[in-house]
Structure 1
Amino acid sequence: MREWIGLAALALPAMLVIMDMSVLHLALPTLSRDLEPSGAQLLWITDVYGFVIAGAMITMGTLGDRIGRRRMLMIGAVAFGLASVLAAYAPTAETLIVARALLGLAGAVLGPSTLSLISAMFHDAEQRSFAITVWMTSFMLGGAVGPLVGGVLLEAFWWGSVFLVAVPVMVFLLVVGPMVLPEVRDPDAGRLDLTSAAMSLAAILLVVFGVKEFAGEGVARLPLLSLVLGLVIGVLFVVRQRRLVEPLLDLKLFANRGFSVSLGTLTLTVVFMLGSQFLIAQYIQMVIGMEPLESAVWSLPMVVSGTIAMFVAQGVAARVGKAYVFGAGLVIAAVGFTVLAQVDSGSGIGTVVTAASLLFAGLMPVSSLGIGMIVDAAPPERAGSAAAVGETTQELGGALGIAVLGSVLNVAYHRGMSGSVPDGVPVSARETVTDSLPAALEAAGRLPRETGGQLVAVARESFAQGLAWIAMGAVPVMLALAVTATLLLRNVGRADVDDVGGAEREGVDAAEA
């Protein structure tokens, strides 16, 4: 019973880490009126949280293995609560940027700590898989509930109230955590290599920044330089890890097929899942014409389908093996993309929600089982580091998905708009309206009613056509990935997982002794 109470204590902060990413978007209009940030400051307020989380996770996960994962979790809870209060009452844009960066650092502590503690608390392989599914569900709920909670709070209170939701949860964790969570550490861990920590932080921050800038600005000198520099530092980081006796990241993990194949599959899964979610949200708001809060309500069916599929998949995987569940999930995702490929500007919400529900029903079990296999593949003393690698992969995959799929959609939109702009649109506005759908919708509001209506119709159809093309291209990728993952993972079965569970029991007992 103690471990299940502990699971609840771990699931709540995991949910809040994701909620903090989504609630801010609804608060931006009122926040902007009060703090009057510049355009650059507004971008940093939005992005710095995710940047710091992605960059610091590997370091924080490895540090937790050294000083104790429960201790790291408690430190993260205190930091997250204090940073939330600072963000809520930030008097200036600069203060809010600092608060968001501190929230990201605290979130990077919480994520790997929660997942690695779950791997230590649940010794039975099936129970551990179920617990990880609950943990993944908390992430989904955080992303879905965030906009709803934010909308309700903003109706009654000021913009800072969206940050204060975290405070009682962190207080609960600080009170309950020491009573129900074990302390687990690597008794033989060496000193933390600060040079490696700085290199991993710099490499990931530069890559994430470059990818996000490509998504927003297209090919430009600054994001290209950032991306190249980040990759170079990443290569040097790998070289350094090979030479160290006590590396920050144990590269031997990648020799384990369960770890490496699951990591690769998880990366591609997150690229298409979060990239598609981003584009579908734009479609619902800008093509169908729903408000953000109404759009958030319509996202609930995909959350429900994904959650149900994760729990069903957890039971099926225990009987037939995770490899076949991976394959089945990716095939279901291919069906979802096939449905999404049928959308046009006149499609109703039903078609899009059906497609999104199938996508999440197929891809969420792959993500959940993939994270579990990544953690299971690591020795007990490296669980925090492995969890951090898995979560960092999700952050990078999300950034890549939005950047890559967003760029493809922009190209398709531009091509669809070329030669289709109504004659009544001024020459000075033609280049702007062919750049993006938001620009076209804004320009249409300044045009005569008939011309504006024609422009909106053409722009929405071009966007919908681009989304359909992306979905058609995703179908063979999902099917190819289904075959590859099934073949490579078919020998990584329940026996392997049980062996890992036994090893974990011995490692945990030794650490606690």
Structure 2
Amino acid sequence: MTTNGSPHSTSPPTWREWTALLVLALPLFMMATDFTAIFLAMPSIAADLAPSTPQLLWIVHIGELIAAGLVITMGWLTGRIGPRALLLCAMALYAVASALAAFAPDAETLLAARVLIGLATAAASPAGIALLRSLFRSSEHFGIGFAVVMGAFSVGGALGPPLSGLLLEHFWWGAVFLVNVPVAAVALVAGLRLFPRTGERTTDRIDMTSVVISMTSVMLGVYGLQNIADRGLSVPDALAVLSGIALGWWFLRRQRRIDNPLLDLNLFSLGVLRVLAIVFVTSQVAFMAVDFVLVQYLQVVAGIPTATLGLVLAVPATGAIIATALTPALSRRFAPSTVMTAGTGIAVLGTAFLLVCLVASAVTPLLAVGMTFVSFGVSPPMVVGAQLMVTSVTQRQAGPAAAIQDIAASLGAAVGIVLLGSLTMSVFHRMLRAAAPDAVERPAVDAAGESPGGAVALAESLGGTVGQELLLATQVALTRGTIVAYLGALVVGLATMVILRGLRGVDLPAEDGTTARRRS
């Protein structure tokens, strides 16, 4: 494969480039924690601000929806104004929005702050990845920098719960937002001096119609899929998903017709991008989305308190950190398809180990071992795949390519939650109805079957022998549902390994900008 605008060999990076990398990674790490912090903070927020139910739902999800909906636009904007300018604007907006959220006097203000945080996150992701192309011209050092940035995202998401739990234990709920303000401020000030300027720009005018269509399409799709996962299939949510798909089709047709497309569809003429986009979707379905099912299992069946659960989840996060640190060395020695297939294989083995543990009613330490294997295996394929995606295009196209990666990963997570989550809840509901004590009225059992938490609450309210029997039935039903979800994840993981065969013969750029030949 021949790359366009690949990083090429110049003078080795100095302390300035390495410091800039740390400045870039820290706020990206904090942004990744935001999406998990809000879940832990919501009980305190609800008690303090008393939002309505719709406001509560929007406060939780609006940031993620905005980030997903605008990432294509921000990818285009990266090429229009440059990654440095866009990233600095994102840092400034993130600081202001985080302060506004921390001291929000009412639900409306907090909701507005969450919108701004989502906007900053949407801009920072493609801009940060594109900026790496200017920081590190050598492919070896670019690989190291890319691993650090991708690790900041993945580790931030994994360590979000324990960090947020620690803050909430000692401070008020606004602390989970306020802690981001000095981080963003330092990144902004340091970035003004350290982030390099890039010269290549697109001069096309932005097509606002495409912006609105793309944002609405992604937001409707993600919103509908999340609601289906939370509440089950309903007509409004199904219509939201179908409307998102229809708008997405309209968006793609429009990009082919207009002279200034928001998303250059010629990117997909590269077979490597097509394969990688599919891999990002399937890997999220197999190895990421299923985590939320296991978290419920650990809480309901294993009985782990929320505070302790954060520490348990920190174990696989450590595995992800180690694997990310090893990825640059692996990338220099082996071909991308080898690294990605081997990593996916390790994740598949970890999934199979978890499946065996669930069948055997394993203790928590063994489940933590399985989760660590999955995290260790997933990290190299994600890092190498994303690096391969952005080095397969010109520097100006790096932002849009990173946006494609974000969209594929977000879509995979949403689809995975719907498919595997719905499968889990379907089995859970049927098993609970079959095993619930006869003394519990059927309408109450049906209502409890909507969620494991609801079933546990009903069992605690009943108390006595009947409550204990219902709790045991809940645990058995959730265990069976979790087993089925991991069976599905195992199948998708094996399919991902087959899809990765499409990357054979593809390689990362060598030091001179040509294609290197590494061991297969």
- Aligned residue in 2 for 1:507: none
Aligned positions of 1:7-406 closer than 5 A: 7-184=21-198, 186-342=200-356, 343-344=358-359, 346-406=361-421
- Flag the 1:447–1:60 CA change in 2: closer, same or farther, 3 A: same
- Flag the 1:68–1:392 CA change in 2: closer, same or farther, 3 A: same
- Aligned residue in 1 for 2:474: 459
- Aligned residue in 2 for 1:442: 457
- Note the C-alpha offset of 1:112: 1.1
Q: Secondary structure at the match of 1:158?
A: coil
Deviation per CA, 1:156-210: give whole Å up to 9, x if none: 2211111011111111111110211112253343111111111110110111111
TM-score, normalised by the number of residues in structure 2: 0.93
**Aligned equivalents of 2:85 and 2:377: distance in 1?**
36
TM-score, normalised by the number of residues in structure 1: 0.94
Instruction: Report if the CA contact (8 A) 1:344-1:461 is conserved.
Output: no
Matched, 1:474 2:489: yes
Q: Which amino acid in the other structure matches residue 332 of structure 2?
A: A
Instruction: Report if the CA contact (8 A) 1:78-1:170 is conserved.
Output: yes
- Note the C-alpha offset of 1:147: 2.1
**Aligned equivalents of 1:150 and 1:474: distance in 2?**
29
Deviation per CA, 1:479-505: give whole Å up to 9, x if none: 2321330x2111102457963799xxx
Comparing 104-113 with 487-496, greater Cα deviation is found at 487-496
**Aligned equivalents of 1:256 and 1:129: distance in 2?**
21
- Flag the 1:185–1:426 CA change in 2: closer, same or farther, 3 A: farther
**Aligned equivalents of 2:179 and 2:230: distance in 1?**
30
Deviation per CA, 1:209-256: give whole Å up to 9, x if none: 111111012111111111111111111110111112221111111111
- Flag the 1:347–1:124 CA change in 2: closer, same or farther, 3 A: same
Deviation per CA, 1:341-360: give whole Å up to 9, x if none: 12159421022112211111
Q: Secondary structure at the match of 1:299?
A: helix
- Note the C-alpha offset of 1:126: 2.1
**Aligned equivalents of 1:500 and 1:45: distance in 2?**
48
**Aligned equivalents of 2:163 and 2:450: distance in 1?**
33
Instruction: Report if the CA contact (8 A) 1:124-1:501 is conserved.
Output: no
**Aligned equivalents of 1:43 and 1:409: distance in 2?**
22
Q: Secondary structure at the match of 1:288?
A: coil
**Aligned equivalents of 1:255 and 1:301: distance in 2?**
40
How large is the Cα RMSD of the aligned pairs? 1.8
Deviation per CA, 1:328-377: give whole Å up to 9, x if none: 11211111111121215942102211221111111121111111111111
**Aligned equivalents of 1:279 and 1:319: distance in 2?**
36
- Flag the 1:494–1:18 CA change in 2: closer, same or farther, 3 A: closer
**Aligned equivalents of 1:97 and 1:84: distance in 2?**
12
- Aligned residue in 2 for 1:509: none
- Note the C-alpha offset of 1:269: 0.9
**Aligned equivalents of 2:54 and 2:470: distance in 1?**
30
Q: Secondary structure at the match of 1:418?
A: helix
Instruction: Report if the CA contact (8 A) 1:269-1:366 is conserved.
Output: no
Query: Which structure features the higher share of helix residues?
Result: 1
Comparing 269-278 with 168-177, greater Cα deviation is found at 269-278
Instruction: Report if the CA contact (8 A) 1:49-1:103 is conserved.
Output: yes
Deviation per CA, 1:438-468: give whole Å up to 9, x if none: 1110100111321111111111111111111
Comparing 97-106 with 238-247, greater Cα deviation is found at 238-247
- Note the C-alpha offset of 1:134: 0.8
Q: Which amino acid in the other structure matches residue 378 of structure 1?
A: V
Matched, 1:489 2:503: yes
Instruction: Report if the CA contact (8 A) 1:253-1:377 is conserved.
Output: no
- Flag the 1:453–1:313 CA change in 2: closer, same or farther, 3 A: same
Q: Which amino acid in the other structure matches residue 409 of structure 1?
A: T
Instruction: Report if the CA contact (8 A) 1:287-1:345 is conserved.
Output: no
Q: Secondary structure at the match of 1:438?
A: helix
Q: Which amino acid in the other structure matches residue 242 of structure 1?
A: R
Give the number of the structure with larger relative contact order, counting CA–CA contacts within 8 Å between residues 6 or more apart. Answer: 2
Instruction: Report if the CA contact (8 A) 1:263-1:370 is conserved.
Output: no
**Aligned equivalents of 1:82 and 1:495: distance in 2?**
39
Comparing 275-284 with 185-194, greater Cα deviation is found at 185-194
Q: Secondary structure at the match of 1:380?
A: coil
**Aligned equivalents of 1:83 and 1:187: distance in 2?**
29
Q: Which amino acid in the other structure matches residue 142 of structure 2?
A: R
**Aligned equivalents of 2:62 and 2:515: distance in 1?**
37
Deviation per CA, 1:300-345: give whole Å up to 9, x if none: 1111112222332332232220101111112111111111212159
Q: Give the percent of matched residue pairs that are identical in Structure 1 and Structure 2.
A: 33
